[in-house]
A and B are shown apart, each in its own frame.
Chain A
Amino acid sequence: MVLYPLRPVGGSRKPGEFPVGSVHFDGTEIKIDCPDRDLRARLTELFANPIKVRAPRGDHEQALAHTWETLEPGSDQHFAACVARLHQFGLVPGA
Chain B
Amino acid sequence: MDPLYQLIAQATQQRNMNENTQKSNDFMRAQHKKDLKDKGSRTSELDSAELSPDLNSMGEDLMGSMDPDMFGRSSNAFRRAWEEELEEKPRPEEEEEGEGHGEPQDERGGNPAEAEVAPAEEAGEEEEDSPEAEVAQEPEPEPSPEREMELPEAPEGPAVVVEPDVLDRSQAALESTDVLDRTEEAAPAPPDDAPKGDSSFNSLLDMGSGFLRSDVSADTAELEVELLEDTLPELSPTLASLTSRIISGDSSRPSYRRLEHYLARFGLGVLRSAVNEKVKVFLLPPGEPLTAHPLVASLFAEEDAIEGAVYLPEKHTLVLEETCVNRVPRGFNQVVFYFAHAFDHILGDEGYASIKSAAVMASYQSCQQSLAGHRFADDLAGISPQHYFAQAVESYLSEDDCLEPLWTRDDLYDFDRSMYDYVDYLFHRTNKV
Contact = CB atoms under 8 A, between A and B. Distances in A.
A84 to B, nearest CB: 6
B426 interface: no
B361 to A, nearest CB: 15
Interface string A70-95: 10111001001100110111110000
A74 B306 CA distance: 26
Interface in A10-53: 12-14, 20, 29-40, 42, 44-53
B161 A50 contact: no
B306 A89 contact: no
A6 interface: yes
Contacts of A77: 379
B337 to A, nearest CB: 9
A32 B162 contact: yes
Interface string B112-138: 000000000000000000000000000
Contacts, number: 170
Contacts of B208: 6, 87-91
Contacts of A66: 306-308, 380
A38 B202 contact: yes
Contacts of B341: 64
A50 B170 CA distance: 7
Interface string B361-395: 00000000000000111111001101100000000
B300 A65 contact: yes
Contact of B406 (A42, A57, A85): A85
A83 B210 CA distance: 14
Nearest to B173: A49
A26 to B, nearest CB: 10
A58 B170 CA distance: 31
A85 to B, nearest CB: 6
Chain A interface size, as a band, is 35 or more
Contacts of A56: 380, 383, 387
Given A30-B162, A31-B159, A74-B167, A54 B378 contact: yes
Interface in B196-218: 202-212
A55 B382 CA distance: 11
Contact of A52 (B173, B179, B310, B377): B179
Given A39-B206, A60-B313, A70 B174 contact: yes
Given A50-B174, A65-B309, A31 B207 contact: no
B180 interface: yes
A64 B311 contact: yes
A48 B162 contact: yes
Interface in B398-433: 404, 406, 410-411, 413-415
A88 B404 contact: yes
Chain B CB count within 10 A is highest, among A39, A46, A53, A64, for A64
Contact of B161 (A5, A13, A31, A54): A31
Interface centre among A13, A37, A46, A49 (most CB of B within 10 A): A49
- Nearest 3 pairs of A and B residues by beta carbon: A90-B207, A90-B208, A38-B203
23 contacts: A6-B207, A12-B410, A29-B161, A29-B162, A33-B158, A34-B160, A38-B206, A44-B162, A48-B169, A53-B378, A54-B331, A56-B383, A58-B306, A61-B313, A63-B313, A64-B311, A64-B338, A65-B290, A65-B310, A73-B167, A88-B211, A89-B208, A90-B207
